[in-house]
Each structure stands twice: as structure tokens, then as C-alpha cells.
Structure 1
Amino acid sequence: MVVRRSRSALLACTAFLALGLATTSFAQTATQNEDAAGEAAKGDRVTNLKPIVVKSKAKASKDVLADSPTASETTAKEIDDNQITRIEDLGRSTEVGVGFNRTTGGVNIRGLGDDRVLTTVDGIEIPFMLDVARGADGGANSFDFNALSSVDVVRGADSSRAGSGALGGAFVLRTLEPEDVIAPGSTWGGVFKFGYNGDDRSLGGSAAVAKRIDNTAVLFEGAYTHGHELENNGDVGGYSTKRSKADPADYNQRNGLFKIRQYTDIGTFGITAEHFNKDKDIDAMHSQSPTGNFRPGNYDTTDNTERNRVSLDYKYDAESADSLLDTANAVFYWQNLLREEGAEGYRYTSVIGDYWRRNEMEDRSIGFNGNGSKAFDTGDLHHKVTFGLDVAFNKVHQYSAGKDSCGDPRWAFSCSFLHTNQSDMPDVDGKRVGAFVDDKIEFGSSNFSLTPGLRFDWYDYSPKNTSAYRDSANYEGLPSGQSDSRFSPKLRASYQPQDNVELYAQWAMAFRAPNVSELYVNYGVPGGYVSYGNPDLKPETSNGIEIGTNLGDDDFGGHIGAFYNKYKNFIDSENSADPTGTYPLGITEYFNRANVRMFGVEVNAHKKFDNGIHVKGALAYVNGKDSDTGEWIDSVAPAKAAFTLGYATEVWGTDLTFITATSEPKKTGDNFRTPGYGIFDLTGWWEPEQVKGLTLRAGVYNIFNKTYYDSLNVASTGLSQPSAYYSEPGRTFKLTLTQRF
């Protein structure tokens, strides 16, 4: 109820602010027209009004999370040039150290994934949801690349800026602003895109249009894509567990973005509304067979994601050093993220009859995120102090609805896997508060600086009893809540011996609060199996060091970094036998690993030659183990590298990229280790001089049709299908057309 009332208040505030902005713009225009008419009446000539110049304050203020020597940016142009349509595409082009787990729906950086990587859009956290019992996981990919102006990848924990969840790093998204679409010197602009992607046979298009009237700017962006299953390199069709081809699927993806910006002398005020929806229907042929429980044509699954948000924004960049603050950014938001996973079919042998499930997990949040900075001198020391505040209230809800032909009693052993119309965990009200401050201190003209920082985070989880939770098969009463807090310090040293050369070293501590599923899931039934949360889990903490250097510029440069991190109370799950025999198929429980360590290196370099040739390369390697047992951490991917040789003129260009990865180390429980691979991609672009603003791009990916695997997308505990079922797409083609006005 609190979230719903807050949502109503936010929408009312949004409408009020929109009316105020429109009234202000109308009043300014009317006043200017009256003044011009008065001047014309007074004399023989009309006094021309001085044009209003609007600065792109929205673009000038970089997200504080991305203001780090460990961050790298992929711009909207690079997204277009590399035909990036999903997070996995970053890992084979601009960011080889970034992965995406399609099973869990989480981003992976430096061997850590899911909610150990913080994902934000315009300063607002996109939560990662873990549905242990039913599979409605993820949510981090609930955005459209066509709506983005940039993607920043922050590697490692910058504790003073990020807060809970950034142990591996941060995935920082910024959506389009009017100034990204309106060309300099113009008052309006548009970008239209159309594309075909062969790896899922999808067709899609997007359009973004922006208009500026005096001190007001408006942006509309929309996109739609229709596609099918993501291809693999399997060649065995049909039904049953022998199938190696991907199951047939159809999906529709929609995205909408609206922004209004009012530019004033005291900053930029704005309203943003965003909608994302992707619904996917799958013919689960691998789970059907002519004599099985599900017969051909009688078992389909669904996978849906929807995210909506409304936010009030403020950005400020000072014109003078005498201002109280140099920069200020604030966003007040409402956001709702919904994940759904379902199935529908008819059972022929076990519990004969109709069967369907619709499993959902939802996170509703309302919050505030703000930061500011100020530079000043004390003697020979130059300071830049950055500070911020993050406050959020959310409610997490999980529920499974369904139908089958179980008789009474409802929880009979024959139906032990079929229980539904229940919540497998209580609803949870969450609160969090975070505050940080850091100070970049430059020592005279020595080109040396120190940046000490400190962040305080507090969180509180309050489980709520519901009839759906009380009706679950394994209900044992309402678990206790959890509340905790952490101080996370950091210290960074930086030295710039010359322009375009930076050497840095950083020590930082960070933490991650347990998520509500890890604490409270309670899914199972006597006679079958059970998954238990652990309300006594402790927050994860990390303590790490990093050294590195950033060199050069856009023509010639690169980055070298090495890191070592230790983690305490690392949260993991384990399966075990039930000594009492109540759950003969086993017990899954969450626990804290005492000590985990990870280390690795990251290298990238690029060079542009005067004759149009350019080369670039990147390498990412992470080694992660339990320090006490020596077990490999499942989320750590093998070492990966990419090398590109290209040529570009004023109107066309082409790139040949070689992507390679080592074999996966042997992990506990593995019966399939992903082998090493090497694949080639060939891409090209053309901007015909006859059509201004038009760009054609095309690519052939995995040219030699290599069968290869991404370890993040291959189950570590066993494969239910032939290995080729889990392979990545073979040879595919992409074609995109972009027209700018």
C-alpha cells in the first residue's frame, strides 16, 4: 500500500511539474512576443530578439559511478557501428570482460554476476531478481540499446560511489537526451533505424525525434522488434532429450521513452517516462516425446519481462567558480520491474490432465538518488569533493499461479512437484539508505593526487505474511527480518607524469546485502525436495587492491590493469541429502563461504594509422576460487581476447575481428567443460554521399560456422540435452540502416 500511495503521489507531482513547465514556456514565449510587438510599434524598425542558446547540461554531467579510471565507455555511435543489440554483443566487440548469463538474466564482470554487478539506468538501480523456486530470474537486460546514449562499464568495486551490489563492478546506462538527437545549430532532429539480425531472425526498427522550443526540449523514442529463438549450432531436431537444435520461439520486444527538459539559469529540470516489454513464447520440443508425459504439440513455455519508470530529474553545471556547487544531479523515481515465467500443456502419464503455470516475481520501488561536487583550494592543495545520497523503498512479491489435475489431499506425494497457487516466500518490504563522500586531493603542480572516500549503507528487510505464503506446502511460519549497515572506505592514488598518461592504484572495501530470495525462499514438499533460504546469512564483504594505467588518446592508447580481491561470507548454495528422509530428493540451502579470492588482469590497446588502417585488441582474465576448499567459483568465465584489424575512409570502412577464449577449468560437479574456441567476425559500413545522414552497416558473424560455447550459459551441474543444444549461434548475418535528420 505504501508503494501504491507513493506511486499516485509521484504521478500527481509529475503532472503538476509538466503543467508548470508548459506554463513557463508559454509565458516566456508570450512575453517575448509582446515585447517584440511593443518595440515595432515604438519605432520604424523591429528589434530582433537575441536567440537563446541551450547548453547540453544533461550530457555534461557524467554519472558519478562512471567517473573512475577503471571505467570505459561505449557510445551510441559505437553501439551502432558494432551492431550491438544485446549485452552479449558487448563481450565480442567493445567489452571482452563483460558477459551475460541468459539462464539467470544477470550481467557478469570480473567473474562476478547477477546481483554482484550493479546495473543502473539514468542513476536508477535496475534490480536483479532471483526466483530460486520457479525460474523468473533476472531483469538487468530490461532495456533497449536503441534508447541509449552510452554504456559505461565500471570494473571492480568503487565502494564510495556504488554501495551494495557492486562487488564485480557496475553496468551504467544512460538514455538518450534531446541533445543526442538535435544537431548543433538546429532546433529539431530525428534518428530512424531498421535492422535484421540473423542469430534470431529478428526484424526491428526504432525512431527518435526531438524538438527544442526556446528553453524547452522534448524527446520521443520508440522501438519494436519481432524475432524468434536464438540459434545454436545443433543439427538434431525432433522431440525428446536427443534434440540439439534450439526450441522454436517467437518474441516481441517494445520500448518507449519520453523526455521533457526545461533549461533555466539554475539548472535543467526534466520528466522522464520509460517502458520496456519483451514477451517470448517457446515450443519446448526438448521436453516432449511421442510416449512421454508431454506429447508433441502439448507443452509450451513463456518468458516475459516488463519494466516501467517515471522520474523527475535535475541537473546543474555551474557557470562560475564562485557558485556554491560546481555540479548537482538528482532524480526522484518510481519503478516497477516484473518477471514472468510460465508453462502450459497436457499430461499423459503422470497426473493426467491439463497443466499450466504462471510464475511471477515483481519489484516495485520508489526512491531518490542525488549527488553534487565542489572544487576549492587550501594552500597548495586542490580539492574536488563529491558527495551523494541514495534512499529507496521497495516491495518484492513472488507468486505461482497454476492448474493441474491433482486430487485431494493437495500435497499428496504424486503431486509433490506440482504445488502451485502459492507464494514460495513472504512479501518483503525493503528500505535502504546510502551516503558517500570522497575528496580528490591534488598536490600542487606535482600531478599527483590522493582520493580518500567513505560510504555508509543501511538496509532493512521486513517479511510480511500473506495468505498465498501461508498456503504454501512447506509453510513453517513467518521468518524474521534482517537489518544491517556497513562502512566502506577506499583510497586511490593517481599520478600523471604527462598528458594522456595516468598511473593509479586503489584499495577499496565493498559489500553486498543478501537478496530476499537467499534469505526467505521456502519451496518444497515432504516426499520430494526442498529449497531453503537462510535468514541468518551475513552480508558479503570484499577487500581489494588494483593497480593500472590509462594511456594515450583516441588515436593511440590503451589500458592495463591488475586486481586482487578477497571476499568474506561469500553467499552460495549447496545440495545435500536429507538424513531424516523427509525430503528424499535432497535439500538445497544457502550458506556463507568463509573465504573466496579472485585476481586477474585486463588489457586493451588501439592504434589508428594515417593511411586509414586501425588495429585494436583486448584481453580479460579472472581466476576465482574458494580459498579454503580450492573449489572454482562457477560464475568465473575463462580468459577471453579479441583482436581487430580494420580500414576506414570518409565514406566506408570494414573490420575483421578474431575472438578467442580458453577452455573452462574443471569445476565441481561438471560433466561438460566448455572447450576453447576462436571465431571470426567481418563487418562493414557505408555512408553514401548522395544521401545525407544515411548509414548502412552489415556483418557476417562466426564466418567459419564454428561450434563454440559460452561457459556462463552452460549448466555446471549437468546437461539434460546433447551439448550442442547449449552452443552459441553459428554463421549469422546482420544488416542495419540508420537515417539521421
Structure 2
Amino acid sequence: MRPSVVLPLLLGVAVPGPVFAQAAPPPDSGPAAAPAEFDRVVVTATRTARAIVDVPNTVDVINRERMDELLVRDLKDLFRYEPGVTVTSSYGRFGIGDIRIRGLGGNRVRILTDGVPVSDAFEIGNFSNANRNFVDLDTLKRVEVVRGPSSALYGSDALGGVVSFVTRDPRDYLAPGQDAHLGFKLGAESDWDGFFAGATAALGGERWSGLLAVGHRQGRETENMGEDEGIGSARTAPNPQRNDGRSVLAKLVFEPGSGQRFRLTLDGTEDAADTNILSMLGMQGFTGANNLAVRADDHQSRARVALAHEVDVLDWAVADSLDWQLYRQDSETNQDTLEERVTAAGVRERRDRSFNFDQRSYGLQANFHKAFVTGNAGHDLTWGIDASRQRTRQKRDGLVTNLDTGATSNAMLPDVFPVRDFPPSTTTTYAFYAQDEIVFGTGTFRLVPGVRVDRYELDAKADDIFAEDNPGVAVSGLSRTQVSPKLGAVWKPGGGWSLFAGYARGFRAPPYSDVNIGLTNVMFGYTAIANPDLRPETSDGFEAGVRFAGDAVYAGLTGYHNRYEDFIESFRFVGFNDQGLMVFQSQNVSEARIYGAELKAGVDFGALSPAWEGWTLRGAASWSRGDDRTADVPLDSVDPATAVLGLGYEAGAWGAELAARFAARRDRVADPELYQTPGYGVLDLYAHWDLSPNLTLNAGVRNIADRKYWASGDLPVAMSANGALDRFTSPGRSVAISLSVDL
């Protein structure tokens, strides 16, 4: 049976071996070490390689083979069959949005690539949106998702959970005895007329190995079920768009001796999109202007360089092994918008807007591991340090040109460009963490306490642009220390059963963009002021579950309850100043609660009867409730109940899977007068063929019945029932195909 036909399991069975200080094999380390499905190994949850059955958390794992079978192109494809994990998207120009875990998203979810945090998201208004979609999924060997607060290991922004992307190494391509690999991949998808291609080369010797992977993708706008192809606010069909992207991943690995590796990584992505925003043409009700043309040119890029070192065996009093890395990462988003219009006064003008968001990060991470025994208890102590510095700059600029006279002006009310919405800011974090995995007696009970101490410092400097736009507005620095504890336990009573429970503290440091908001407009009568007294957003997460893993059946049920305090509300009205201007300030005001249950289960029918060999069934479901306890209304970011069910068959050289996705009606919203999306059920079909040992074909048909539906996170909460709802629908029936050649 091909293991990847079944959804990567969240369950495992006890790994036989020594009771004390037992180390699991490294995940995805090669064909000879590939784990059985029920023994799936993860790293992110505890920073150690552990079978999930030994982890007191809910963890999702999606490996490379599963990504290929599901023809994963973007983040929506990646988490399509993971209830409780949502990827948002927007209509128009910006596309993929953020990742939500159990109803919490944005910068409250920690996203890592090989342990390096992905840059922040930031948006303001209709023309500026810097997202966090900076990874080429074809370069990954696996993705791990830890649900719930994880600040005890990963610090700020892990309030809602962690998404960890792990890129491939040269040895992932080289079978035992093989010293060279060359691979090609071609694919196409009909829902965006997309084409993608990639090439990979890997070389390996006794001590040196290397990898170079390049990718390219291009296409048009993603389809929906909207039928109005006109212009203006009533348009529901997608706006015409052309997009393309490219990526490169290069690694050089040096192994000076057994159990020691140096790794140099260069990683970069670049994406561009040109959009003709037909939905913004025509009369604009707020200004009375008539838009004749609106075009957008968006570009984002990320570049990362990292030097890492791993030592498997040490003879130190404080560590048996270690790993560390130094990194630098640059991320930048540039978005340009051109408008041609006739004003309410009859003046023909062109408006050129530009938005830039630039973030540069440096960091050092070091992790140490020590195994020892005290009495009848075995310990695996993991401790480490994490230091980083991040410089963030943002700017909006613009120019208005009178097309009749040629006169130009940088005044585009309510702004006089250029402006910064916050001053150039540098954030520095120093952290120390420690975690002990304690195994008692015969190994049936495991206790996992941990704690992390973070020191967060914000240094902001008002440059000429910020000072001119915000006269008299004070800029503040910030220093905070946060302690994040956790405690988990796993008990295996036998018979394939295990129970787990845990508590974890989460936090998010006050963002630079909230501490020093920069908006002053005398004409419109308002100003925004800094708040150096902002407290970190915090969470307390409780989780408990039961797992069963047998020869034919696996099942896991988890319940969780997360309380969030001191959520930061931006632009909160606090009164009037001496000049009579309305004063706005970011403040800690909100409290929230999210609770729910998650289920994952599967059956290998071949283990029940030889007559059913090759047949598998897997399923997952998520139910959650969220409440804004300050406003006493439901949280709109929490999804309705969702579920997936997949029936697969594997026949050696080929296999197929029929997958169904279900969602309940959204009946809990903050404003019941707004549109509530109906429930839906959608069928998808996937198949793969190993045409030869070196040639694999994957194909899929999504939304077989051509069903119209709204996926969670795609429909803006503020849509009324008579709005242009169909513009936010998901694609109808679509086909995807890919061909992989490995030499």
C-alpha cells in the first residue's frame, strides 16, 4: 500500500526501544528511514524529532508526496483538506491572504521557513496590502502545523499556532549509492490558465553535496462563478490579470565527519501581477468622480541566506548535540496603482499611487539537547537561544496630474504625499527557552514542561517624511519582557490508546505599526498618537485529546479552549485635543474566547481483509465557536463546522482518490443583518500513474459537480445580501495536471 494515499496521520504507535531519552529518527530522512504512517515524526511541536503519539499537541503534517498527489500550487491548495486551518483570499488584485488556525490569523500565526520567520503582513486602505505569501511550495519536503498557542518555543506571533515550511536537502533527491540527480516538472491548471515548470539538480559525494532548484509559473486571473463581466461595482467576474513568478533554492552541504553537517542555503522568490481593475470603474459614490481606468502593478520578493551547523554527538556537560544557524532575510512589496478619472467638478486627472513595505531581518538561533536519567525518570532536555533584529519601513507616495493643463500636485486628499503610516522601526528580540521531556517508569507516561523568556525592544525614528506628515506627534520606543510557560502530558494505557493534555501560554508583542501610528489630517479633523504603554496580546490555551492507532484503524479526537486578552484595537477614538482634533490611539481593549473540537480518523481496509487490499478511507472534521467578549458578539474569523472525507485506492503503479469537502452554513456572525454564506459539499477526484520508474503523472478534477460556493475566509464579513456576492465565489469545475521526470 502506498502510504501517502491516506491523509498524513496525526497519530502513531509507541516506538519500541529504550525507555529513557529515546530519540526518534529524523523525519523524511530518506527511503530507508521513512516512517510508517502510524509513527509519523514531527519536529516543530517540541523542537525534537518525535512520533506524534509522544507529542501533547495537535499537529498536522503534509509531506512532499501528498503535495504532489493533490497538485498543490498555493496555500489554498495546501490546506484544502485540513479543517480548522483556513487560507483567506481577496477579490481583485491581491489574491492569497493569511493563514488562520482555529480562527486566529494574520501576524498572530508564526510562519517559519527552515526556522526563519517569514516577514510580517501589513495593509492599509484599498491600494496597499503586503501579504506573507513568500514560499514556493515545490521546494518543500514537508509542512508542519502546530495548532494553538506555541510561544513557549517560538515566542511572539505564535499566539494562534505555528506553520513550519521545511525545504528539501540534496540527500532528499539522492538514493543510497546515487551521486547525481536531475529532475523536471511541468504542470498546468485550468482555473487560472496557469503553467508552471521546475528543474532540480543534486550532486553528492562523501563529504560534499549540493542542490539547485529553480521554478517558474505564469497565468491569468483565478476563475470564480461570477457571470457579470461588465464594469463597475456590480461586476462579479474576476478582474483581468496577468501574473508570473519565479523561485530559486540553492544548498551546499559539507560533512567533515560522521554526525556533523554545515549547510549554506540561498533561497529566493519573486512574484508580479498586472491587474486591470474593471470593478472600480464608473461613478464613485463617495467622491462623485467617474473612474475611466484603474490599473495595478504589484511586485513582491524575498531573499534569504542562512548558514547552519548540526552536530549529532557531543561530549559536553550541558549538551549531547546541537544545531545553530545565522540568517539574513530581505522582503519587499511594491504596489503601484494608476487611475484616470473625471472629478465631480469635471476635471480630467490621472492619479499615480505607490506603496512600499520593506523588511530586513537578521538572526541567530541555537538549540542544544541533553539526555540524562534521574531515579526512574529519563529526561530529554532541549534548550536554546534566539536573537533577532528586524528593520521595517513603509511608505506611500502619489502624484495627481491635471490632464487638461499638465499641472501636478502631491496632494491627494486626505493625504499630502509622501507619507509614512509609522516611522522607520527596528525591533530587537532576545529569548531563552528550555523544555524537558520526562519519561517515567516503563515509558507509559510522558511529562513535557517548558518555558521561554522573551525580551522585546522597539526603537522608532521619525524621519523627515514622518515628521512632516505628523507635526508634533511624539514617537515612542518600547521595551517588554514576556514569560511563556507550557505543560503537556501523554499517557499510553496500552492497546494502541493514548491520551494527552496540555496548557500553553501565547503572546504577541505590540506591533510597531500600532505603537506609533502616524496619521494627522487637519482638514478632516483628526490625528493619531503613539501609545508606549501597549501591553502584549496574550492567550491561555488548554487542549486535551484521545488517540487510537491499530493495524487497520486510527482515530483522534481533540478538544480545546483558548482565552485571549489585551487584543490591540487600532485607531480607537479617545477624545479631542487642544486644537479640537479628534484623537485616535491604539489600545488594549478586546478579550476573546475560541473553543472547539477536532477529529481525524481513517481505515486501511486491506488490513481488515485481503479482498479489500489497496482501499483506504480517511476523514477529518472541525467544529469551533468564537466570541468577542468585549463586544459580546461572535468572532467573524471563526469558521463554521467543516469536514473532509476521502476514499482512496492504490494499485501499485497507479492510484486514485475521491475527496469530499463539506462546510456548514455560517450562522454566527457579529452582524446578523449581513450575508451569511450557505453550507456546501464539493467533490474532487485525483489520480496518479507511475508511467515508468522515472516518470510520474498526477491529475485532478476539482469541484466535479461545478458547484457554486463560498469558501471560508473569501467573503468579506461586511457584505450585504444584495451586494456583488458572486465575485467572492470559488472556482467551478477545474482540471490540474503535472508530469515529473527524475533522472
TM-score of the pair, normalised by structure 1: 0.86
1:715–1:591 CA distance, 2 compared to 1 (3 A)? farther
**Counterpart residue number, 2:487:** 491
**Counterpart residue number, 1:656:** 658
Residues 95-106 of structure 1 mapped to structure 2, 5 A cutoff: 95-103=82-90, 105-106=97-98
Residues 74-473 of structure 1 mapped to structure 2, 5 A cutoff: 74-93=62-81, 95-103=82-90, 105-133=97-125, 136-265=128-257, 267-289=260-282, 293=289, 295-296=291-292, 298-318=293-313, 325-349=319-343, 352-405=348-401, 415-445=412-442, 447-472=444-469
Q: 1:181·1:208 contact (CA, 8 Å) conserved in 2?
A: no
1:61–1:501 CA distance, 2 compared to 1 (3 A)? closer
1:582–1:239 CA distance, 2 compared to 1 (3 A)? farther
1:501–1:476 CA distance, 2 compared to 1 (3 A)? farther
Q: For the residues of structure 1 that align with 2:200 and 2:422, how far apart are their CA atoms?
A: 42
Q: For the residues of structure 2 that align with 1:174 and 1:353, how far apart are their CA atoms?
A: 49
**Counterpart residue number, 1:515:** 511
1:149–1:244 CA distance, 2 compared to 1 (3 A)? same
2:680 is the alignment partner of 1:677 = yes
AA paired with 2:88?
N
**1:288-329 deviation per Cα after TM superposition (whole angstroms, max 9, x unaligned):** 138984555x210133221111110112223x8999634322
**1:17-55 deviation per Cα after TM superposition (whole angstroms, max 9, x unaligned):** xxxxxxxxxxxxxxxxxxxxxxxxxxxxxxxxxxxx999
| Alignment counterpart, residue 731 of structure 1, candidates 727, 730, 733 | 733
Aligned residue for 1:712, secondary structure, equals coil
Q: For the residues of structure 1 that align with 2:319 and 2:42, how far apart are their CA atoms?
A: 13
Q: 2:474·2:529 contact (CA, 8 Å) conserved in 1?
A: no
Q: What's the offset of the Cα at 1:519?
A: 2.1
1:672–1:597 CA distance, 2 compared to 1 (3 A)? same
1:624–1:247 CA distance, 2 compared to 1 (3 A)? same
Q: What's the offset of the Cα at 1:578?
A: 8.1
Q: 1:194·1:738 contact (CA, 8 Å) conserved in 2?
A: yes
Q: What's the offset of the Cα at 1:624?
A: 1.1
| Alignment counterpart, residue 619 of structure 1, candidates 621, 639, 660 | 621
1:682–1:530 CA distance, 2 compared to 1 (3 A)? farther
TM-score of the pair, normalised by structure 2: 0.85
Q: 1:632·1:668 contact (CA, 8 Å) conserved in 2?
A: yes
Q: For the residues of structure 2 that align with 1:326 and 1:208, how far apart are their CA atoms?
A: 35
1:140–1:300 CA distance, 2 compared to 1 (3 A)? same
Q: For the residues of structure 1 that align with 2:130 and 2:551, how far apart are their CA atoms?
A: 35
Q: For the residues of structure 1 that align with 2:203 and 2:227, how far apart are their CA atoms?
A: 51
**1:167-224 deviation per Cα after TM superposition (whole angstroms, max 9, x unaligned):** 1110000011001111222111233211111221110011111101221000000100
**Counterpart residue number, 1:30:** none
**Counterpart residue number, 1:49:** none
Q: What's the offset of the Cα at 1:555?
A: 5.6
Q: For the residues of structure 1 that align with 2:67 and 2:232, how far apart are their CA atoms?
A: 39
Residues 552-631 of structure 1 mapped to structure 2, 5 A cutoff: 552=549, 556-573=553-570, 590-610=586-606, 611-631=613-633
Aligned residue for 1:102, secondary structure, equals strand
Q: For the residues of structure 2 that align with 1:213 and 1:600, how far apart are their CA atoms?
A: 50
Q: 1:124·1:369 contact (CA, 8 Å) conserved in 2?
A: no
5+ residue gaps, structure 1: 1-52
Aligned residue for 1:471, secondary structure, equals helix
1:306–1:354 CA distance, 2 compared to 1 (3 A)? same
Q: For the residues of structure 2 that align with 1:284 and 1:532, how far apart are their CA atoms?
A: 31
Structure with the bigger RCO (C-alpha within 8 Å, sep 6+) is 2
Q: What's the offset of the Cα at 1:629?
A: 3.0
1:200–1:178 CA distance, 2 compared to 1 (3 A)? same
Q: For the residues of structure 2 that align with 1:554 and 1:592, how far apart are their CA atoms?
A: 51
Q: What's the offset of the Cα at 1:247?
A: 0.4
AA paired with 2:561?
Y
Q: 2:401·2:408 contact (CA, 8 Å) conserved in 1?
A: no
Q: For the residues of structure 2 that align with 1:66 and 1:679, how far apart are their CA atoms?
A: 37
Q: For the residues of structure 1 that align with 2:208 and 2:495, how far apart are their CA atoms?
A: 38
Single out whichever of 634-643 and 379-388 deviates more from structure 2.
634-643
Aligned residue for 1:518, secondary structure, equals helix
**Counterpart residue number, 2:689:** 686
Q: For the residues of structure 1 that align with 2:585 and 2:716, how far apart are their CA atoms?
A: 19
Q: Percent identity?
A: 27
Aligned residue for 1:522, secondary structure, equals coil
Single out whichever of 717-726 and 136-145 deviates more from structure 2.
717-726
Number of equivalent positions: 679
Q: What's the offset of the Cα at 1:82?
A: 1.0
Q: 1:451·1:493 contact (CA, 8 Å) conserved in 2?
A: yes
Q: What's the offset of the Cα at 1:403?
A: 1.3
1:182–1:409 CA distance, 2 compared to 1 (3 A)? closer
**Counterpart residue number, 1:38:** none
**1:597-654 deviation per Cα after TM superposition (whole angstroms, max 9, x unaligned):** 1111111112222221111100112211122432222321222111111211101111
Aligned residue for 2:123, secondary structure, equals coil
Q: What's the offset of the Cα at 1:496?
A: 1.7
AA paired with 1:299?
V
Q: 1:114·1:138 contact (CA, 8 Å) conserved in 2?
A: no
Single out whichever of 531-540 and 618-627 deviates more from structure 2.
531-540
**1:690-731 deviation per Cα after TM superposition (whole angstroms, max 9, x unaligned):** x32211111111111111112422222346950001111111
Aligned residue for 2:253, secondary structure, equals strand
Q: For the residues of structure 1 that align with 2:190 and 2:527, how far apart are their CA atoms?
A: 39
1:573–1:671 CA distance, 2 compared to 1 (3 A)? farther
Q: For the residues of structure 2 that align with 1:733 and 1:222, how far apart are their CA atoms?
A: 24
AA paired with 1:197?
E
AA paired with 1:163?
G
Aligned residue for 1:470, secondary structure, equals helix
**Counterpart residue number, 1:713:** 714
1:459–1:694 CA distance, 2 compared to 1 (3 A)? same
Q: What's the offset of the Cα at 1:65?
A: 5.3
Q: What's the offset of the Cα at 1:501?
A: 3.7
Aligned residue for 1:404, secondary structure, equals strand
Q: 1:241·1:721 contact (CA, 8 Å) conserved in 2?
A: no
Q: What's the offset of the Cα at 1:527?
A: 3.6
